[in-house]
Amino acid sequence: MIDCTLCGRPVLGLTGHDWTALPWMLAPGTGVLPGPCHVLCLQELGAARSWAAAVEAYHLKRWPRWRAGAGWRLHSSRAARRFHLWRADGGLASFPYAVLAVPPFRIRTPLAEAGTAHAAALRTAMGADRVPLPRMIGRLGLTDRYPFVDGTVTLRGNFLVADHPLALTGSCLGAARQLAAEAI
């Protein structure tokens, strides 16, 4: 399993809940080690503000195309064909333009490749080839790290994949469509 560098518990890699903290993202003296982590762990350690400021500065410089609304800011990259959504509640989601193609808007996140120790641990927690994501999270004892998560986990080919909703307000969705259209 891939463990959080802050709490030592498994990190699933779910959009909006997990991140990989790189050295340049962390303020000196926070005590946060670089590596995969739960965003909630960053918040609990008081490091989320400095981490978010560093990541925000990066996106403002590297991804200068953006729109903002009440409680959110959406960055767009033509080259990567991806969005980064910042929410006022501290959530950060990265997702491809293709998510906008068909509602309801969902993200598919590869969690593990079959045959790895990480996949074996997740499969044990799943107990079947397709299960509700909250059930697997509960069996892993991670409900406090992934509150309000919905969706399913499925074995697809050689990968375990989480399929979960992407909550977009109407104004954010409109901005995403506008940014994607400008990229053509």
Structural domain boundaries in the chain: 1-62, 64-182
Within its chain, how far is the Cα of 12 from the centroid? 9
| pLDDT value for 17 | 87
Average confidence (pLDDT) over 92-97: 86
Torsion sign across C-alpha atoms 56, 161, 80, 75 = negative
Report the percentage of the chain scoring pLDDT > 70.
98
| pLDDT value for 37 | 92
Q: What is the pLDDT of residues 125-140, one digit of tens each?
A: 998 989 999 999 999 9
CA torsion angle for 25, 29, 34, 38 (degrees, to 10)?
-80
Average confidence (pLDDT) over 162-166: 89
Give dist(CA 155, CA 179) in Å, integer: 33
Report the percentage of the chain scoring pLDDT > 90.
45
Local confidence band at 63 (pLDDT 50, 70, 90 cut-offs) = confident
Average confidence (pLDDT) over 83-90: 78
> How much is the mean pLDDT over the chain?
88
| pLDDT value for 165 | 87
Q: What is the pLDDT of residues 137-150, one digit of tens each?
A: 999 999 999 988 89
pTM of the model: 0.81
- Helices in 63-167 by DSSP H: which ranges? 117-126, 133-139
Residue, of 166 and 75, whose pLDDT is higher: 75
| pLDDT value for 90 | 64
- Cα distances (angstroms) measured from residue 148 to each of 1, 17, 18, 92, 142: 22, 11, 14, 15, 12
pLDDT(178) > 80:
yes
3-class secondary-structure state, position 11: coil
- Cα distances (angstroms) measured from residue 85 to each of 48, 66, 115, 138: 16, 10, 33, 27
Local confidence band at 106 (pLDDT 50, 70, 90 cut-offs) = confident
| pLDDT value for 24 | 84
pLDDT(177) > 90:
yes
| pLDDT value for 89 | 63
